[in-house]
Chains A and B, each alone.
Chain A
Amino acid sequence: MSRAVHPRIGPNRALDLLNFFVADVQTGFGPFVAVYLTSHKWTQIDIGFALTLGTMTSLIGQLPAGVLVDSMRNKRIAATGALAAVFVAALLLAFLPHPLPVLTAQILHGFASCVITPAIAAISLQLAGHAALGERLGRNARHGSIGNGLAAAVMGASGAYFSSRFVFLLTAALCVPALAMLWKIGAGPHSRSQTTSRALDVDGLKRLLADRRLLIAALCVMLFHLSNAAMLPLAASAVTMRAGQFANLIIAACIVVPQCVVALLSPWVGRTAQKIGRKRLMLIGWGALPLRGLLLAVLPGSWPLVIGQAVSGVSAAVFGVLLPLLAADLTLGTAHFNLCMGILGLALYLGAAISTTMSGGIADDAGTTTAFLVLAATGLAGVIAVWLAMPETRPARETD
């Protein structure tokens, strides 16, 4: 009888590492795709089209993906399918940078993203149960941000030293440990009925969609991203105007600093959400946004930008933990956890899409300062919505 050489990875650790690897894999598919396609002589119009196609797919796919993941009893199969799609998408981008493969890759990746987020949240809920979900989500967010930060650093460096194709090969390679960790998690014992819809559960669906809390939560999520999404790109392009040679370093810092803050704060956010409730944390997280917008509007420059990014780390930590937690709260008693994740995800993507378009237009016409002030005002609207309209959603029986 041979003893295992490596200690067995328990399900919680495996879920940690799954979040780490999935975040790694998602890093390459961001704005870097535009850089990669430029180096393959794509015109700006075609690149814009490819990126828009990816965003649209992610937007349109939120609800169907939620329904799909709800209908599958074994969430790990949904996550496996999504990771396989991402693997194929990365290889397509790496080896076939032509229109049809790239557009296919964008669609594959867009839909896979819509599936994997609710699937991981559902797996977390099943593993930890509702009472301990906050802390579990905090761990998810911590490992996700570590993965994101490390991957950005490694891929950014290797993209410069080797070729930009290497980034997508690395992305594809990282899907393998992600899959390995996924299957080490095992079946979680909790919340099966909440996360799996057997037949078309019309009553539960009606109850969910009629829930005023869901509408308010979706509005708050949308306002958050309406304010948040455009701030970094807007500030970053201003930085490249000022900093010249050091722009790369500053922007790398701008990406890494909030990830560090998220890694540090998320488990605390999760535990606190369990202890004192969600609403006070939401006020902190949403409240940091208008502050950041004001800072960036009033003090242009590299240092305020990095400090603003640290502040955004606080909002990101709160948001990252609270989104799935709210979905779990709102769907207690129904069987539509993943659909609710999809609804909130849709609000997220809508807010982000409108944010970049709106702020770009304002910056062109009225300057970046005005754009930041508008974003700050939107953030303030979000805080007011949370303060006045959002109820506390933590279930009463969990109160100490």
Chain B
Amino acid sequence: MTLMAAAILGVAAGVSARADNPPPPVANDAPPPAIPVQPLSLEQVPPAQPPAAVQTPPLSAVQSVAPDTAEAILGQPVTDPDKKEIGRLVDVLVDANGQPQAAVIDFGGFMGVGNRKIAVHWSVLRFTPGDTKHKITVTMTPDQIKAAPEFLDPNKAASVVTPADSVAAGH
């Protein structure tokens, strides 16, 4: 259970990091108002910060993300350019900079028999959060998709299909 929760949170964080470009708002952007200068006396120690702006920087900022601006993608159907569903997105390969490199799509098969997983380059995917029926589209022809080799072991090098050459490039 922890593993699954961690995976989902990790991807959700990755997706939301892509979606919002401006950094999260910080409470103390503006310089604090000027402190009135007074001769120091023992009884009166000027506060480190003006009493009116009594804030400490928050630990985290909460931002609201509507489903038509950013969508959950794991387990969602993937459609081809003809709007036909070809499979489901089951995993994301992310590099050390947090940039998604490839998506693993599980497709084909009937009642679970004959399913294959393939890895496609991230640039091949188009995401349309506003469209509830076709959230994820892959801009590859069925022939290119057909020829993709199977993605098997996440611990080995993945063969990721890219549009420039439909022959898989070692990743």
Contact = CB atoms under 8 A, between A and B. Distances in A.
Interface of A: 27, 30-35, 38-46, 99-100, 152, 155-156, 159, 232-233, 236-237, 239-245, 247-248, 251-252, 254-255, 364
Given A38-B75, A42-B4, A99-B1, A156 B114 contact: no
* Nearest 8 CB-CB pairings of A with B: A31-B112, A236-B114, A240-B108, A41-B75, A251-B110, A32-B112, A244-B146, A244-B142
Contacts of A38: 75, 88, 90, 106
Given A42-B75, A43-B7, A43-B91, A156 B115 contact: no
Contacts of B40: none
A39 B88 contact: yes
A240 B90 contact: no
A232 B1 CA distance: 32
Interface in B64-109: 72, 74-75, 84, 88, 90-91, 106-109
Nearest to B6: A43
Nearest to A28: B111
Which of B84, B111, B113, B116 has the most chain A CB atoms inside 10 A of its CB?
B111
Contacts of A255: 110-111, 113
Given A44-B90, A45-B3, A46-B4, A248 B110 contact: yes
Interface residues of B, number: 33
B108 A34 contact: no
B13 interface: no
- Contact residues of A: prevailing secondary structure: helix
B147 interface: yes
A241 B109 CA distance: 10
B124 interface: no
Given A35-B111, A38-B75, A156-B111, A237 B116 contact: yes
B19 interface: no
B11 to A, nearest CB: 10
A101 to B, nearest CB: 12
A30 B109 contact: no
B112 A34 contact: yes
B17 interface: no
Given A40-B75, A233-B114, A247 B3 contact: no
Given A38-B90, A44-B91, A46-B4, A30 B111 contact: yes
B37 to A, nearest CB: 60
Given A43-B3, A43-B7, A244-B145, A33 B112 contact: yes
A152 to B, nearest CB: 6
Contact of A34 (B3, B107, B115): B115
